Structure 1
């Protein structure tokens, strides 16, 4: 597994931790405080590593002010719940600013965002006729639950269509659900391949330009500096 894939897995993991932390806002359970503290410590470690690896500490602070705010333990300083909630949300925003970028890039790949939008709309809309025509499904919530498990091909079997129309809707949901899973897998693969190709092409261009270093203009040198800084920044984030 290459560094790009490891970095992507790490970013997903950190984003999930942030979501878990924010979910504790509405759960009044003292035992969850320890889990929240562990999440906070992991985030502090991540910010600390990024801070000390940055060449200009002041530039890092200016570009990532939410990071600095998010690692301050306001939960302990402010005992009022509303303040704790605000700063937990800040923590989520700070972490998402780092770790959600690859996810948004993948969603924009190969038109995946359109497929996600269409499939989600189909799930909500198809639940309406299922609720109206299926005798065993008595609420829209049950119909929506059935639509979701059918589209995701989980199929628990607790609810199933008995009418022909319901079964046709089920087939339609399964087709688009399987298609969405396939497109998601393909988009993830495309993201890694294109990211690697982009890096390799940039390195090849830099090498080509350095071969004619005696002919480079000031503008060419400035362009190379920008590209090198970009590559260095990307490597530091892995």
Structure 2
């Protein structure tokens, strides 16, 4: 198979699997958070853990197909190191929390490609993902610390008030890891708020520009119509003048 044919098939495969794999990444995160929040019994936890391995297998098959279709395999592996980490990390069970940043990075790249033309949807999906991620990390960090965040519901409430920059102060981290998570979520919340504000402003500016453009087009059409009428009148006069000349 020629490299050009491989490149065409690779692009087609990526377009076909883009949205399904994005949804699968979201499912992976939800299952991961359900396990790490320790809100499920042992039997459900084993089932969820099995689903994580199943999703990992799908990611592995995806990487194998892309690697087979890639025109330059070594270059493809260097530029898709996240996929390689996803395949390798599940075997390192003591480093289970490292799955989280890798999957989040993959989810960010996929959602950015899929939703780049739908900025409000992109902001909404990103905000929801950050709330769930921040709540899970905070719950893990604050367990047994004696602080006000004792349950997963407390962690979710804290994440919502933090990312929206409300900050009631009824829940707050007391551990060093928890405060690090808080700093990350604060910065993310401010960034998302700025992005949303810029997107709204751009919407109104674009709408105003569109209105002005439409008004200019209407004026241009009116001028063209006047010119057409003048040309028609001029042509009629020329025709009348030629008729009179022939009669004489």
Which range, TM-score by smaller chain?
0.3 to 0.5
TM-score for both structures, normalised by structure 1? 0.42
Higher relative contact order (CA 8 A, sep 6+): 1
TM-score for both structures, normalised by structure 2? 0.41
Larger Rg: 2
